[in-house]
Amino acid sequence: MQELIARSTWLVVMAEGGRQMLEDVYRAPSTKLDLILHGIPDIPFVDPNYCKEGLCCLPSGCFRPIGGLSMH
């Protein structure tokens, strides 16, 4: 692990616990560690009807007034 840390420009972890372990156990410098959270962010609920305003749904996708055709 020490060689991996030494040879790496940066290390990416998906949890704060992983970052702490690399710093505490393996003495990885915090400047080399980057946290990209795994999972879905905890955000407030938004009414889906609010998001659908201005969309015209077609059998092949949804047409947005700005941005064109989306297949999602």
Residue 2 has pLDDT above 90, yes or no: yes
Pairing state of beta strands 56-58 and 61-64?
antiparallel
pLDDT tens digit sequence for 12-29? 998 999 999 999 999 999
Q: What is the DSSP string of 2-71?
A: HHHHHH-S-EEESSHHHHHHHHHTT---GGGEEE---S--------HHHHHTT-EEETTEEEETTTEEE-
pLDDT tens digit sequence for 27-70? 999 999 999 887 777 778 878 777 666 665 555 555 555 554 44
Which pTM value belongs to this model? Answer: 0.54
